[in-house]
Structure 1
Amino acid sequence: MRRIVVRGNTYLWNYRTVRDIYCRSKLTIISENKDIKFIVQFTTKDTIVTGSPLNEGLRVMKEGKQYFINLNQPKYVAEVLQYILGMELDVTVKKVHELNGNSLLVRMGYQDATGLLI
């Protein structure tokens, strides 16, 4: 697992993809003391190069600008985590939060420019 610091706190994270008919990717983020876990699941169409476009850079638009989201890059992991922390989920009751990554990206203002998100 890799380390990332967001809002002054250290988190451990990893990103994995499993290919079947679609690419099912999972971004797992765990607090350093391992008491809170966020599991963000994405479903995309398969691509020729790496399977999941989130491995090579999913082309998206946000506020009229084009971006390439690659979840192997800490920049985007930090952005996703900042958004999740801003959601103010009740982490005192529920220690594991499973989130739909596709809708999370939409709520963050990203629009899929390729039609690869399912």
Structure 2
Amino acid sequence: MALRKITVEDNVYLYKSTTGFGLNTEITTFEIIIFLKDFKQTPLKINCITWEDLYAGNPLNTGVNLTKIGAKKEEFVNLNRPKYIRECILYGLKIGWNGQNKVEPIDGLEILMSLGFDVSGLRPKDGSVIAYGKEYLK
């Protein structure tokens, strides 16, 4: 996918998203990589580990209805939309990323939880996954 451009707080960022999945598994990753313009060596990486549907694909790539916990209402969430890319950038800035420094990859489901979404329906069915050399128990 080609890099797309977004401006947040007077800074220009470039971003792309990719999906990947393990063989013989229903677990998939949706990754967003964001760069401050002219600083491709220090990206913000957001990884969402979730289930994969044979027909619909990755729910965060194609879109899924998630419940806002406080408001008890549903919102259609597609992480490719600029609205959510902006939220990812703001989250990265909040945790200390400035576009010119390296930070550890961020769990995208944590970002969605910080926005008030119930992400329990996105978690893989078995409750644990191996990703990036680490085991995550959810």
Residue 112 (structure 1) aligned with residue 114 (structure 2):
no
Larger Rg: 2
User: 1:55 is paired with a residue of what secondary structure?
Assistant: helix
For 1:75 and 1:117, locate their aligned partners in 2 and report how far apart those are by CA, in whole Å: 22
Residue number in structure 2 paired with 1:72? 80
Identity score, percent: 28
For 1:79 and 1:68, locate their aligned partners in 2 and report how far apart those are by CA, in whole Å: 15
Residue number in structure 1 paired with 2:131? none
Q: Which residue among 50, 59, 66 is the counterpart of 2:65? A: 59
Residues 60 and 36 (structure 1 numbering): CA distance in 2 closer, same or farther, change over 3 Å? same
Residues 44 and 10 (structure 1 numbering): CA distance in 2 closer, same or farther, change over 3 Å? same
Which moved further from structure 2: 25-34 or 94-103?
A: 94-103
Contact 2:47 2:105 in 1 (8 A): yes
Provide the TM-score with structure 2 as the length reference. 0.73
Residue 10 (structure 1) aligned with residue 12 (structure 2):
yes
For 1:108 and 1:65, locate their aligned partners in 2 and report how far apart those are by CA, in whole Å: 13
Q: Which residue among 82, 87, 94 is the counterpart of 2:90? A: 82
For 1:42 and 1:100, locate their aligned partners in 2 and report how far apart those are by CA, in whole Å: 6
Ranked by relative contact order (alpha carbons within 8 Å, sequence separation 6 or more), the top structure is 1
For 2:99 and 2:66, locate their aligned partners in 1 and report how far apart those are by CA, in whole Å: 34
Structure 1 gap ranges (5+): none
Q: Which residue among 3, 26, 36 is the counterpart of 2:31? A: 26
- Within-5 A mapping of 1:30-41: 30-34=35-39, 36-41=42-47
For 2:99 and 2:88, locate their aligned partners in 1 and report how far apart those are by CA, in whole Å: 21
Give the drift of 1:98.
1.1
Contact 1:83 1:108 in 2 (8 A): no
Give the drift of 1:51.
1.9
Structure 2 gap ranges (5+): 125-138
